[in-house]
Amino acid sequence: GGYYRYASNDLPNVTSNVLCWRKSTLYALAFIFFFGTIESLYFSASLIKFREGAWVPLALSFIFLLVMYLWHYGTVMRYEFDVQNKVSVNWLLTLFGSSNLGIVRVRGIGVISTELVSGVPAIFCHFVTNLPAFHQVVVFLCVKSVPVPHVKPEERFLVGRVGPKEYRLFRCIARYGYRDVHKDDVEFEQDLVCSIAEFIRSDKAVRFVLPESSRIDRSAEEELTELTEAREAGMAFIMGHSYVRAKAGSSVVKKVAINFGYDFLRRNSRGLCYGLSTPHASSLEVGMIYIV
């Protein structure tokens, strides 16, 4: 009975938070005052009956709060590591343009999943350094959730070019609303390739990096033909699998939170392959240790 009463008391607070979302500041303050007063009464009642069993829902609430804080803290630290260790686009262009490094471009489309909207993720540099070969078309894919219920199919993919045309490097931001359902792998691949092809045909998209050279590039028809050939050769998804560890000299609390708490949550959570609906046969995970 205590669990049901606590859940019933907290349910209006959660649903009201959803309804109050993106409202004016005055409306939000009135909401906090009204529902905060009610929640304070319920909380004080639980404290009065603490020894009679009310400590159980309070303990569960504390455990859930601790789990959410550990996940948020570890995710923020991992994202900050990606931002601080990302590689500039100029380094990537130098890597692909240099013949002394032995970088080989193979047939197909390589999709690198990343949380960064700019720059080159460290996981890709780690992969290329150890395996100097990559696909003829490279796409840096970033999946973002936007604060709207649904995103129109024609507005879902935001495509940009990374560097000159001859390098065939693209950046794609896939936007999903909080009520959108992710499609299966075949439809996702088709929509991704179609959005890149539409970007090549159009001249209105924004460039991420402007080429320094002013010479005439290859025609759009040749680029579309190469994209079609790469699609027929196959598409590979490169996922980063990070092992987050606290750096030397960190406090005991941080080491326990990162090395044990967050690591346990990461090992028991769904990976990127599930969220992107990518086929397991064409997915590759690249492991890398993150020292935060």
CB 35 within 8 A of CB 12: yes
Q: How many helices (H) and strands (E) does the chain have?
A: 10, 6
Closest CA to 38 of 61, 65, 16, 19: 16
Q: What is the pLDDT of residue 67?
A: 92
Q: In terms of pLDDT, which residue wins out, 162 or 23?
A: 162
* Residue 111: alpha-carbon gap to chain centroid: 14
Q: What is the pLDDT of residue 100?
A: 63
Contacts of residue 22, defined as CB under 8 A and 6 or more positions apart, other chains included, come to: 147
The whole model's pTM is what?
A: 0.73
* The residue to which tokens 């996702």 are assigned: 188
Q: Indicate if the pLDDT at residue 247 is higher than 50.
A: yes
Q: What is the pLDDT of residue 207?
A: 46
Rounded Cα gap, residues 170 and 230, in angstroms: 14
Q: What is the pLDDT of residue 94?
A: 78
- 65-74, 155-164, 176-185, 214-223, range with the lowest pLDDT: 214-223
Q: What is the pLDDT of residue 255?
A: 92
Tokens of residue 166, six digits: 């001859």
Q: What is the pLDDT of residues 125-182, one digit of tens each?
A: 888 878 878 888 999 998 888 888 888 888 889 998 887 888 888 999 988 888 887 7
* The residue to which tokens 């019933």 are assigned: 8
Give the N- to C-terminal CA distance of the chain in Å, as an integer: 44
For residue 161, how many C-alpha atoms fall within 13 Å in the half-sphere facing its CB?
20
Containing H/E element for 241?
A: strand 235-245
Average model confidence (pLDDT) for the chain?
A: 79
Q: Indicate if the pLDDT at residue 14 is higher than 80.
A: no
Q: What is the pLDDT of residue 216?
A: 37
Q: Indicate if the pLDDT at residue 204 is higher than 50.
A: no
Q: What is the pLDDT of residue 165?
A: 82
Question: For the stretch 224-252, what's the b/e string if a residue is b when 16 or more beta carbons lie within 10 angstroms of its beta carbon?
Answer: eebbeebbeeebbbbbbebebbbeeebee
CB 287 within 8 A of CB 243: yes
Rounded Cα gap, residues 276 and 199, in angstroms: 21
Residue ranges per domain, the chain?
Answer: 2-83, 88-239
For residue 163, list its beta bridge partners: none
How far lies 236's CA from each of 10, 113, 137, 163, 205, in Å? Answer: 45, 11, 11, 21, 25
Q: What is the pLDDT of residues 256-280, one digit of tens each?
A: 999 999 999 988 877 655 556 666 6
